[in-house]
Structure 1
Amino acid sequence: MSGQATFALRGRNPDVLTCIANLSNDEVFTPPEFANRMLDTLAEAWEAGNGGANIWADSRVRFLDPCTKSGVFLREITSRLTKGLAQEIPDLPARVDHILTRQVFGIGITHLTSLLARRSVYCSKHANGKHSIARSFRSDDGNIWFKRMEHTWQDGKCVYCGASQKTLDRGEGLETHAYAFIHTDDIMARVTELFGGDMQFDVIIGNPPYQLDDGGYGTSAAPIYQLFVEKALALDPRYAVFVTPSRWMAGGKGLDKYRERMLSDRRMRRIVDYPKLYEGFPGVKIRGGISYFLWDREHNGPCEIQTIWDGKPTGPAVARYLDAYDVLVRRNEAVPILEKIRAKGEPTLDRRVSSQKPFGLRTFFHGKPDPKNIKNPVKLFGSQKVSYVKRSDIPTNVEWIDKWKVLMTRVQGTSAAIETKFLSKPIIAAPGTACTESYLVAGHFDSEDEAKNYATYLRTRFVRFLVSLRKSTQDAPKHVYAFVPDLPLDQEWTDAKLYKRYGLTQDEIAFIESQVAEHDRELFDEAAPDDDE
């Protein structure tokens, strides 16, 4: 078979990398189509920053995927370079050998994925095997490196990635998930150790593991993708292109410092955001959606934000400074609305809303099913049921017990691809009540009228729209209320009044109402002390 035929076969359908299943939601394979969108963005930036030059026609550019899984990025880069370098290196085998030995490099995240990546890139699990399309490698690995790494344990956790020693300190037959790229204090020395010599990469691109599979699941699992991004930027490439979950933009466990760094980095040149569940990676549930960014070492200015919804841009990309707020406002259409609201300088609801465990009680805490034999009982709102406890069972904020309160569930959202409510219906809790951490106390008041007006306010589309700008998952802690004005409660607020108060245009109103659905007719749940006796 000729060398030409080897590459022609790649046009056959289906592409195997569109067919393989993800190993887990932590280590998600990038679809080839999505990888090529990222490469198109890279090529456009390279052309703009290099006098119209074609990155795929440059035989000196070095690419690194520091978290390669299927090898899709390296494969597609190799394919593009093979076409782009045809004039400079006319002989196909020599051209391919040059690309694979001098230009594309990867670090496998597991033994299995390193074999898969080599098969994708070299057409052989051994870079120097008889079926490999490379000709100059002497090692089995070629430029796709993998060796088993061990965690560095201290006080039961890995000092580099936070992995649990109890879960991942295990035998040689099992994967450690100690990823080489992030388990080092000196990333420059690590790259030299892996690939030798003075190895400076022009482009670092990848789709890192999202969270550590060490026994923490769902929202309790610690993210890890930010560690790959930070190490990549420390290598000072010309460009970095990464796809990650979008939770970092507004929340995420342990991501505050990372978010602050990314929002303040004027080298962020472009973000392409896919907020709709399942859209970026079909079939993979990543709450809050996914996005990819282009970091440009030579850029110093605003970042272009582009939102993709149902496969199409929601509008033109808009250049704006990311640190205008403490979170990234993802939708460009929302920014002028938010600016009008913040221009009034009003206090915001995050000062009023309680922290987690408003009364110091965990979700699993329950009292007795009825108030019998309890002197001066307190009605307790808990997970999916109401019970009764003694006042002495309430460890904190006991002064709130005899106030009128508005309660909001801490978790709101479904598995649907589109969230439209953003907050649950408020519960008005009369004096003599408390709650577990299943709820937040959104506010406490001296009068029932104030509580009712506040609950009505929280139900408006206006409020829930502002919450949506900070809410990236089902979790709705107090910080999601930080854009919501804390208004006087001497009147009942409606959307019409609020739109008028802030001078919103018809287009702005239409955008809010396209994003946020009305609640049903029942205004709120009222909960008097003796309702269910």
Structure 2
Amino acid sequence: MNHQASFALRGRNPDVLTCIANLSNDEVFTPPEFANQMLDTVAEAWATRNGGANLWADSSARFLDPCTKSGVFLREIATRLLKGLEGEFPDLQTRVDHILTRQLFGIGITRLTSLLARRSLYCSKHATGEHSIAKSFASDDGNIWFERTEHSWRNGKCTFCGASKEGLDRGESLETHAYAFIHTDDIKAQVAKMFGGNMQFDVIIGNPPYQLDDGGFGTSAAPIYQLFVEQGLALEPQYAVFVTPSRWMTGGKGLDKFRERMLSDKRLRSIVDFPKLYEAFPGVKIRGGISYFLWDRDYQGPCEVQTIWDGEPTGSPVSRYLDAYDVLVRRNEAVPILEKVRIRREPTLDVRISSRKPFGFATNFKGQTSPRGLLSPVRLFANQRVSWVERTEITVNPDWIDEWKVLMTAVQGTSAAVETKFLSKPIIAGPGTACTETYLVAGHFSDEESAKNYASYLRTRFVRFLVSLRKVTQHATRDVYAFVPDLPLDQPWTDSKLYERYELTRDEIAFIESQVAAHNDGQADDE
């Protein structure tokens, strides 16, 4: 063996793993630089726990990537161990074999990615191949496991991951996307079966698939990354570090129980958050940004939260208990502002906001283009148009028709890397009106003055800032208003009045105005 050349895990310029394209926005390859940030976080925690000891000099430490794609985590760990274990194993080949056969383990998510991961780690798609740097494996797979797994169908859905049978039960020639790590009720037994014995890992690290692509057969794509996290923690490693979309922090389909578990888990040692679109994974559009967390099995205490913006920390990390609210307030600077609002114990706006389909009409409902021929016409606000319906067609909240209403779009957001408005401009809809699912009825009133004062309140930066703390996607449902106080509507509200009411400091005001842009004019749309 040529001592250094044969173990050239990163001997090319540029690094090949920075050049490959992502499979999709759901199966995203981790950039090597980002993977190393995560590994640094683990190493620091290990040193803190073990009197300054070097994780990469521990020949007994075991590592698992349960959702390996490019193999970048395993490759970078191998590079670190190769240097750290030089004193214990002076012979390079002996050191390489020890690291690859006894310390590094991976589970491929598809056949293609398992081959790619082996190529990254062993320098050969087969661990026993001619060009493999490992010389002690008996099987081609080495320690990167992959076998085709089938879904467990019941009533048209997989009982483990919720995949659509119509979309993914498609024969042996195509991938099932039934990821073995999450298709089991006993993850410890599953891993023991994969690797041939009782396996206890010191570090579990990975970037799981984010959601299932079932070809559009589901009503909407459901996240699955939380299933990988839950299974990883169930293995009880010393440390677990995962990168995921940040949507779990405030919302996301089917993520309520996961969010509650994560926020209440005092073993979360740190979270590093990248809220800006494209910040961490250039070219990959993950609405709401991404983050990674470090879970420490033997830790109990507050979690250190750090935000990264344009490659730099926004300030010093802050240790805080995450279950202070029902969502994770991502920016440390926002917490003291929110506390000044909540200490007054005022009712909140989410009680006022309607549910979806406030009058029973779907977004694609089309009324008449004019009121002609209708006995009792009602003006209907729809998607970028106004139409007309017969009053008797409205069976949901008919008592709202003749009140003054303030309408807000149910979806608000842009494709820009940074969201700055968070809510649309309010629309004041007078008596004799209704709307489709495009809008929510944010409030309904007996008089025009209250409606106008309420609309002015919703336009303030202060309100939209509080909304931003709960809004991580384009959807602006009633839940995003749960931090906004429901104030008396006997006056029009302005930001200056609100800043004074809640005794905000100059720095706090500056932070709000750095995050939330003013609307173009001072009036709500009046129809």
| Shorter-chain TM-score tier | over 0.9
Which residue pairs with 1:391 in the alignment?
391
Q: Deviations over 1:312-366 (max 9, x none)?
A: 0000000000000000000000000000000000000000001111111111111
Letter in 1 for 2:436: T
**Aligned pairs (5 A) from 1:278-317:** 278-317=278-317
Q: Deviations over 1:248-274 (max 9, x none)?
A: 000000000000000000000000000
Q: Does 1:136 align with 2:136?
A: yes
Which residue pairs with 1:254 in the alignment?
254
In 1, Cα distance between the equivalents of 2:273 and 2:495? Answer: 29
**Aligned pairs (5 A) from 1:333-482:** 333-482=333-482
Letter in 2 for 1:290: I
2:407, 2:440 within 8 Å by CA — same for their partners in 1? yes
In 1, Cα distance between the equivalents of 2:113 and 2:503? Answer: 55
Letter in 2 for 1:323: D
Letter in 1 for 2:170: R
**Aligned pairs (5 A) from 1:109-128:** 109-128=109-128
Q: Deviations over 1:167-226 (max 9, x none)?
A: 000110011100000000100110011001121111100000000001349993100000
Displacement after TM superposition at 1:3 (Å): 2.8
Q: Aligned Cα RMSD in Å?
A: 1.1
Displacement after TM superposition at 1:9 (Å): 6.3
In 2, Cα distance between the equivalents of 1:381 and 1:14? Answer: 55
Unaligned stretches of 5+ in structure 2?
A: none
Q: 1:165 to 1:193 in 2, by over 3 A?
A: same
In 2, Cα distance between the equivalents of 1:44 and 1:21? Answer: 31
In 1, Cα distance between the equivalents of 2:269 and 2:219? Answer: 29
Q: 1:417 to 1:187 in 2, by over 3 A?
A: same
Displacement after TM superposition at 1:521 (Å): 1.3
In 2, Cα distance between the equivalents of 1:419 and 1:57? Answer: 44
**Aligned pairs (5 A) from 1:19-34:** 19-34=19-34
In 2, Cα distance between the equivalents of 1:83 and 1:315? Answer: 33
In 1, Cα distance between the equivalents of 2:249 and 2:148? Answer: 33
Displacement after TM superposition at 1:6 (Å): 2.3
3-state SS of paired residue (2:137): coil
**Aligned pairs (5 A) from 1:496-511:** 496-511=496-511
Q: Deviations over 1:410-456 (max 9, x none)?
A: 11011000110000000000011111111100000000000000000
Displacement after TM superposition at 1:27 (Å): 0.2
Q: Following TM superposition, where does structure 1 have runs of at least 4 consecutive aligned residues deviating by more than 2 angstroms?
A: 6-9, 215-220
In 1, Cα distance between the equivalents of 2:99 and 2:188? Answer: 23
3-state SS of paired residue (2:380): strand
Displacement after TM superposition at 1:395 (Å): 2.5
Q: Does 1:41 align with 2:47?
A: no
Letter in 1 for 2:212: L
3-state SS of paired residue (1:220): coil
Q: 1:453 to 1:217 in 2, by over 3 A?
A: farther
Letter in 1 for 2:307: T
1:202, 1:238 within 8 Å by CA — same for their partners in 2? yes
Which residue pairs with 1:58 in the alignment?
58
Letter in 1 for 2:439: Y
In 1, Cα distance between the equivalents of 2:226 and 2:8? Answer: 37
In 2, Cα distance between the equivalents of 1:395 and 1:183? Answer: 44
Q: 1:165 to 1:218 in 2, by over 3 A?
A: closer
Displacement after TM superposition at 1:375 (Å): 1.1
In 2, Cα distance between the equivalents of 1:331 and 1:389? Answer: 45
Q: 1:502 to 1:446 in 2, by over 3 A?
A: same
In 1, Cα distance between the equivalents of 2:377 and 2:134? Answer: 77
In 1, Cα distance between the equivalents of 2:29 and 2:216? Answer: 21
In 1, Cα distance between the equivalents of 2:269 and 2:435? Answer: 46
Q: 1:20 to 1:100 in 2, by over 3 A?
A: same
Q: Does 1:232 align with 2:232?
A: yes
Q: 1:111 to 1:205 in 2, by over 3 A?
A: same
Q: Percent identity?
A: 77
**Aligned pairs (5 A) from 1:152-231:** 152-216=152-216, 220-231=220-231
1:427, 1:525 within 8 Å by CA — same for their partners in 2? yes
3-state SS of paired residue (1:80): helix
Which deviates the most, 463-472 or 9-18?
A: 9-18
Displacement after TM superposition at 1:12 (Å): 2.6
Letter in 1 for 2:43: A
1:210, 1:224 within 8 Å by CA — same for their partners in 2? yes
Letter in 2 for 1:380: L
3-state SS of paired residue (1:41): helix
1:216, 1:222 within 8 Å by CA — same for their partners in 2? no
In 2, Cα distance between the equivalents of 1:412 and 1:217? Answer: 26
1:405, 1:451 within 8 Å by CA — same for their partners in 2? yes
Which residue pairs with 1:275 in the alignment?
275
In 2, Cα distance between the equivalents of 1:386 and 1:369? Answer: 8
Which deviates the most, 465-474 or 382-391?
A: 382-391
Q: Deviations over 1:36-88 (max 9, x none)?
A: 00000000000001111100000000000000000000000000000000001
Which residue pairs with 1:80 in the alignment?
80
Q: Deviations over 1:371-413 (max 9, x none)?
A: 0001110111111211100112213111111110000001101
Which deviates the most, 4-13 or 479-488?
A: 4-13
In 2, Cα distance between the equivalents of 1:140 and 1:381? Answer: 63
In 1, Cα distance between the equivalents of 2:254 and 2:400? Answer: 31
Which residue pairs with 2:151 in the alignment?
151
2:7, 2:133 within 8 Å by CA — same for their partners in 1? no
TM-score under structure 2 normalisation?
A: 0.99
**Aligned pairs (5 A) from 1:507-518:** 507-518=507-518
3-state SS of paired residue (2:379): strand
2:164, 2:218 within 8 Å by CA — same for their partners in 1? no
Q: Deviations over 1:266-310 (max 9, x none)?
A: 000000000000001000000000000000001100000000000
In 1, Cα distance between the equivalents of 2:120 and 2:267? Answer: 32
Q: Deviations over 1:108-138 (max 9, x none)?
A: 0000000000000000000011110101101
